[in-house]
Amino acid sequence: MTLIFISRKVVISPNNQLVLNQNFRKNDYFYVAMQKYKEIYQNIVDHKSTKTKLLAILLDPDKIDWSQFDTLVDQINNSPATHVFIGGSLVFSSRIDELILRLKAQIQLPILLFPGDPSQISKKADGILFLSLVSGRNPDFLIGHQVKSAPILKSSGLEIIPTAYILIESGGQTAVERVSQTKPIAREQHELVVATAMASEMMGSKMVYLEAGSGAKCAVPTSLVKNVVTNVDIPVIVGGGITSANEINEMYAAGADLVVIGTAFENDYRFFEHFQNELNIKTL
């Protein structure tokens, strides 16, 4: 029987269902996960081709309650998450390496950096979303931070995934808008968002990330997600303002390949317990 890698403890069977990896042992990589997850991006692409949906938990190092770390780990392990993202628009914590190492010791998921600037790069992670804020015109976030990061990343051993980061208006100013000093694209400007995603793909981006922003009042419209998915061939990530299983499922139905949950999980580590049987993380 051929099994497709999704995480160290979860695989996809030939009928596209999530199953536990029978060869999995805690703190042990099974064969597909060798070589430091060098196939993270290819696995995402494979899941897209089978319409198998993915879910990431985004952790902001500044918002970790270290006294509740064991609870955090337990909830991640018991959640349907397939990836963990680490980062934020503005991070002051000096414990990013420690956070990643402690997570790796207790969870069996690939850990990807989601950095707001070069100071958030850690060689302890498995990979990095190499973001370019293409919805704005601030040169630091379009290319400046990337230039500063390149020498560090060259020798890091991280899997580097160029990602077009598109900020969508969400009903209020978000942290990424304040820090980047850029304006999001209006929710109704579908043609501009689609053209931005298309141009990014043509210029070499491997993924598109549609972002409403941390703590957004409104998530990215599903109609917009559908329009973007229809017009690009690369995986589409959606995050920001998603607070329920119903909203996650709506994003999947619109075509999102990977949904990111951040603030909702930060506010309630038992977020996924409320929706144990409601998420359609399977072929749609």
Under DSSP, the state recorded for 55 is E
Give the pLDDT confidence score for residue 90 in this predicted structure. Answer: 86
Report the SS3 class of residue 73. helix
Instruction: Kindly give the pairing relationship between strand 18-20 and strand 10-12.
Output: antiparallel
Question: Which of 269, 265, 247 lies closest to 256, judged by CA?
Answer: 247
Report the SS3 class of residue 111. strand
- Helix-then-strand count for the chain, H and E: 11, 11
Task: Assess whether pLDDT exceeds 50 at residue 118.
Answer: yes
Amino acid in the structure at residue 202: M
Mean pLDDT of 68-85: 97
- Supply φ then ψ for residue 103, to 5 degrees: -65, -45
CA–CA separation, 166 and 197 (whole Å): 8
pLDDT digits (tens, 9 = 90+) for 20-53: 444 544 444 333 333 444 499 999 999 999 999 9
Is residue 41 within 8 A of residue 158, CB to CB? The reply is no
Greatest Cα pair distance, the chain, in angstroms, is 51
Residues 6+ apart with CB under 8 A from 205: 132, 134, 162, 163, 164, 234
- Supply φ then ψ for residue 151, to 5 degrees: -60, -35
- The burial of 226, by beta-carbon neighbours within 10 Å (0-12 exposed, 13-18 middle, 19 or more buried), is given as middle
Task: Assess whether pLDDT exceeds 60 at residue 6.
Answer: no
Give the pLDDT confidence score for residue 279 in this predicted structure. Answer: 77
* Host H or E run for residue 194: helix 190-202
Q: Give this prediction's pTM.
A: 0.86
pLDDT digits (tens, 9 = 90+) for 228-253: 999 999 999 999 999 999 999 999 99
Which pair of tokens denotes residue 50?
């089978």
Q: Give the strand order in the sheet containing 18-20.
A: 4-5, 10-12, 18-20
Mean pLDDT of 96-112: 97
Cα–Cα distances (Å) from 280 to 29, 80, 215, 252, 257, in that order, read 26, 10, 23, 8, 12
Mean pLDDT of 127-135: 98
Task: Please identify which residue in the block is written with the tokens 């099974």.
Answer: 30
Is residue 228 within 8 A of residue 235, CB to CB? The reply is no
Question: Which of 239, 215, 225 lies closest to 131, judged by CA?
Answer: 239
